Structure 1
Amino acid sequence: MDSLITAAARALAAGDPLGALKRVALRDDAPALALRGIAMAQLGDFVRAKALVRSAARAFGPKEAVARARCVVAEAEIALVSRDLGWPAKALDAAQATLEAHGDRANAAHARYLQVRRLLLIGRLDEAERTLAELDPTPFPPALRASHELVVAGIAMRRIRAKTARAALVRAEYAAHQAAIPALTAEVESASLILDTPAARLIVRGEERLLQLEEVEALLASKALVVDACRHVVREARTVVPLTTRPVLFTLARALSEAWPGEVPRDVLVARAFRAKHADESHRARLRVEIGRLRTLLRTLADVSATKQGFALVPHRARDVVVLAQPVEEKNAAVFACLADGESWSSSALALALGASQRTVQRTLDALAAAGKVQSLGRGRARRWMTPPVLGFTTTLLLPAPLPSD
């Protein structure tokens, strides 16, 4: 490999895409195309980066299977950071197998980490944990060790394991310092900021306060009866009653919990559960049916007692009844939760992460854009969505992809 390619690769490894482009910007050979693609990705031009990396993969000869596989991994990383989560997983699996067969274990592991991070983004935590358990980061270079710890922290935060997440971020910070890659350091800082941001809102006896992840973890481990409006479940210690598919019952459970130890009038319950301005006999009859269903589901945790004016929640063992809600409740909170990472998402990626149809997500995004709550970049298939930047938060940047010179 010639000296310019080597120098460009070293510049990218040091987080200097402009320095790399100065050396290979005018070259169209396969290694130069690959490095130009990675440089453009680090500069944020993902469309151009993807095209260059694909061109490089085609330019490498049939005997250069490892180089082509590295291009596939680089393209997958570009797709990940640009939140194009529908990439062909089989192509990445094949590239990983090729790299492992040729002894390139570091780049093969990098491909596996990309798979895990995609699974994490679309909420498939069990599969992400199983895949991560197969990887031992000890023999890998610092950049890969940092990626490993970032994934560990991401899974722990979603599992509400604050201590595990914080310990992983400490290890990630140390590895990022060793790697001396500015973008990697920025990503670790961003993850740390997220961990220190309020994760939920506690509502108890008419009072509210924000909770960090450690406090949420402690609350869920306590003996309180928790109506979790973040996951739509009712729980006490290890007993969990899911109400995700029963929105009316969850609305009733939350209303009763917010009023505990007092009662909730029937008219108020009808208005909240059925969105009826005036309660008639049909509403009252339906309320009795739904309360009966709720009483059955919560029978191991609490009773729902009828009073003169309405109904009241009576826990069996718990001394406190609390509601755990999102820090800011918004109709489209799930969309904002995805966009909160500071990256630009495609509507197809949002649909995949939210488990909704792309058309539904697109209508939601158009409405939010009209209200000035989100903004879009590009057109057609290149269109991406993001929230307006928030001061004090570092956006996640693209990690340098494996270099053809490795």
Structure 2
Amino acid sequence: MDSLIAVAARALAAGDPLGALNQVALRDDAPALALRGIAMAQLGDLARAKALVRRAARAFGPKDAVARARCVVAEAEIALASRDLGWPAKTLDAARATLEAHGDRVNAAHARYLAVRRLLLIGQIDEAERALGRLDPTPFPAALKAVHELVVAGIALRRLRTKMARAALARAGHAAREAGIPALTAEVESASLILTMPSARLIACGEERLLLLEEVEALLASKALVVDACRHVVCDAGTAVSLAKRPVLFALARALGEAWPEDVPRDTLVARAFRGKHADESHRARLRVEVGRLRTVLATLAGVSATKRGFALVPHGAREVVVLARPAEDKHAAVLVFLADGESWTSSALALVLGASQRTVQRALDTLAAAGKVQSFGRGRARRWMTPPVPGFATALLLPTPLTND
């Protein structure tokens, strides 16, 4: 490694991409191409960064297995930053194995963290937690320690463990300051904002108010029966019943929860569950069937009693019934949530994290674009979508996470 390459590498490690480019901007050898690619990635030009890193990987000779593996890891990081979630995970695994075999433990660990962060982003929380448990950040540089704690915080936020998340973010901030990388410090600060912004709305007895994430955690641990419209689940402190795949039943449960302790007229339930303007005999018959199904599903938590004008929810052991709703409930709120991170997304990546078809996501994006809420750039397979972050709202409750169905 010549002196200019060494100086550029140290500059990149310190988060100084312009200083690195001053050393290698006019060179086209493989190491310089790799460093230029990483510098462009730090500056935000991800498309050019990807092209440079690929050129570097091709330029390294067959004996430069470690260098090529490092290029693969760099390309994977660029893919994660550009939300190219379909990037082949097996390629990253092979590169990690090569680095471990040649004793490059730091870059091998970096590859593992990239894989964990991808799992976290697409909602595979259990797998991400297991993979993270196999990593000990103690011997790693401060920058990797910060990344480790960011992942710990991300998992804790999605599991609504706010004290654990706060502690992890504090450790991440300390490690980021120790590393002296401004971009990493900014990422920690951005993640910390989730704890200070409203994450949900509480609807109870006809009134609404916004809740912070720690208040949501306290509510779910209380003796209240919660109709959770963020995850489509009905739960109390000990039992959770998922209605994510039964939208009609959840619509009925939410209507009954919002009205509690009062009952809900049959016509109102028909309108909420079946979107019918007028309740005829066929609607009433269907309503009786669906209410019967709801009684069966919620048998361990509550009953549904018939009244003179409609139905009412009757909790078995809970003191009260509340509804937990999203801070904002636009038609395509789920798409906006992911675009609110300020990164550019492809429609295929959005479809992956939302569990929807790419065509469905594309229709939603077209609708949002027509309303001026999102914008796109590029064409064809290179087309990406983005929007400025939604001010004032945290998104942790809207991110994908597994639910227990008891």
Same fold (TM over 0.5): yes
SS in structure 2 opposite 1:268?
Answer: helix
Determine helix, strand or coil for the equivalent of 1:140: coil
Q: Which amino acid aligns with 2:168?
A: A
Report the alpha carbon displacement of residue 102 of structure 1 after superposing the two structures with TM.
0.8
Alignment-derived partner of residue 325 in structure 1? 325
**CA distance in 2: counterparts of 1:362 and 1:7, whole angstroms:** 45
Distance 1:361 1:391 in 2: 23
Match of residue 17 from structure 2: 17
Would you say the 8 A contact 1:304–1:314 is kept in 2?
yes
Q: Are the aligned partners of 2:257 and 2:322 in contact in 1 as well (CA < 8 Å)?
A: yes
Name the SS of the counterpart of 2:352 in structure 1.
Answer: helix
The alpha-carbon deviation at position 14 of structure 1 amounts to 2.0
2: CA distance between counterparts of 1:187 and 1:43? 14
Q: Conserved in 1, the CA contact under 8 Å of 2:38 and 2:74?
A: yes
What's the counterpart of residue 67 of structure 2? 67
Q: State the TM-score, normalizing by the size of structure 1.
A: 0.95
CA RMSD in angstroms, aligned pairs only: 1.3
Counterpart of 2:339 in structure 1 is 339
**Are the aligned partners of 1:47 and 1:382 in contact in 2 as well (CA < 8 Å)?**
no
Alpha-carbon distance between aligned partners in 1 of 2:367 and 2:340, rounded to the nearest angstrom: 18
1: distance between equivalents of 2:193 and 2:378? 29
Which residue identity does 2:129 align to in structure 1?
Answer: E
Measure how far apart 1:314 and its partner are: 0.8
The SS at the match of 1:373 is: coil
* Other structure's SS at 2:202 match: strand
The match for 1:154 is 154
Amino acid at match of 2:316: H
For 1:136, give the aligned amino acid. Answer: D
- In 2, Cα distance between the equivalents of 1:343 and 1:172? 21
Retained in 2: the 8 A contact 1:146–1:175? yes
Q: How much has 1:138 moved relative to structure 2?
A: 0.7
Cα deviation for residue 274 of structure 1 reads: 0.5
Shift of 1:315: 0.8
1:384, distance to aligned residue in structure 2 (A):
1.5
2:5 touches 2:24 (CA, 8 Å); kept in 1?
yes
Q: Give the 3 Å change call, closer, same or farther, for CA 329–308 of structure 1 in structure 2.
A: same
Distance 1:157 1:50, change over 3 A: same
Shift of 1:392: 8.2
Match of 2:4 in 1: 4
Tell whether the 8 Å contact from 1:70 to 1:95 is kept in structure 2 after alignment.
yes
**1:3: how far off?**
1.1
Q: Is the 8 A contact 2:198 2:392 kept in 1?
A: no
Residue 41, structure 1, aligned to residue 41, structure 2: yes
State whether structure 2 residue 213 is matched by structure 1 residue 207: no
- CA deviation map 1:176-201 (0-9, x unaligned): 00000011001001100122211111
- Please report how far the alpha carbon of residue 22 of structure 1 lies from its aligned counterpart in structure 2 after TM superposition: 1.6
**C-alpha distance in 2 between matches for 1:273 and 1:358:** 27
Cα displacement string for residues 72-99 of structure 1 (whole angstroms, at most 9, x for unaligned residues): 0000000000000111111100000011
Work out whether residues 341 and 389 of structure 2, in 8 Å CA contact, stay in contact via their aligned partners in 1.
no
- Between the aligned partners of 1:358 and 1:190, the Cα distance in structure 2 is 29
CA offsets per residue over residues 292-340 of structure 1, 9 Å max, x none?
Answer: 0001111111110000000011111111100000111121121112112
Residue equivalent to 2:181: 181
Structure 1 letter corresponding to 2:292: G
Secondary structure of the structure 1 residue equivalent to 2:328: coil
Q: Unpaired runs of 5+ in structure 2?
A: 394-406
2:116 aligned residue: 116
The residue type paired with residue 188 of structure 1 is V
1:300 corresponding residue in structure 2: 300
One-letter amino acid matched to 1:148: H
Who is 1:291 aligned against?
A: 291
Superimposed CA distance per residue, residues 156-208 of structure 1 (whole angstroms, 9 cap, x where no aligned partner): 11111111111000000000000000110010011001222111110110111
Structure 1 residue 148 displacement after superposition: 0.3
Instruction: Supply the distance in 1 between the matched residues of 2:221 and 2:64 (Cα, whole angstroms).
Output: 54
Superposition map of 1:2-401 within 5 A = 2-389=2-389
Question: Quick one: distance in 2 between partners of 1:33 and 1:359?
Answer: 37
Secondary structure of the residue aligned to 2:304 is strand
Q: Is the 8 A contact 2:267 2:279 kept in 1?
A: yes
The CA deviation at 1:283 is 0.3
Report the Cα offset of residue 389 of structure 1. 4.8
What's 2:397 paired with? none
Aligned partner of 2:71: which letter?
A: C
TM-aligned CA deviation for residue 380 of structure 1:
2.4
Provide the C-alpha distance between the structure 1 equivalents of 2:194 and 2:347, rounded to a whole number of angstroms.
Answer: 23
Q: 1:390 to 1:312 in 2, by over 3 A?
A: closer
The amino acid across from 2:56 in the alignment is A
2: CA distance, partners of 1:392 / 1:3: 47
* 2:400 equivalent in structure 1: none
Alpha-carbon distance, 1:388 to partner:
2.8
TM-fit CA distance, 1:382? 2.3
Using the size of structure 2 for normalisation, the TM-score is: 0.95
Distance of 1:14 and 1:359 partners within structure 2:
42
Alpha-carbon distance change, 205 to 302 in structure 1, aligned in 2, over 3 angstroms: same
> CA deviation digits over 1:222-281, x for unaligned, max 9?
110000000101001121111011100000001001110001000110111111111100
Large movers: runs of 4+ above 6 Å = none
Query: C-alpha separation between the residues in 2 aligned to 1:245 and 1:199?
Result: 23
CA distance in 2 between partners of 1:203 and 1:102 (Å): 57
Whether the 8 Å contact between 1:375 and 1:388 is mirrored in structure 2 is no
Which amino acid letter does the alignment assign opposite residue 126 of structure 2? D
Amino acid at match of 1:96: R
Q: Is the 8 A contact 2:340 2:388 kept in 1?
A: no
Measure, in 2, the Cα distance between the counterparts of 1:314 and 1:392. Answer: 35
Q: Distance in 2 between matches of 1:52 and 1:41?
A: 10
Q: For structure 1, which runs of at least 5 residues remain unmatched after alignment?
A: 394-406
Looking at structure 1, the residues matched to 220 and 201 of structure 2 have their Cα atoms a distance apart, in angstroms, of: 13
Shift of 1:381: 2.4
Q: Distance in 1 between matches of 2:239 and 2:44?
A: 46
Give the partner amino acid of 2:208. Answer: E
- The whole-number CA distance in structure 2 between the counterparts of 1:390 and 1:233 is 25
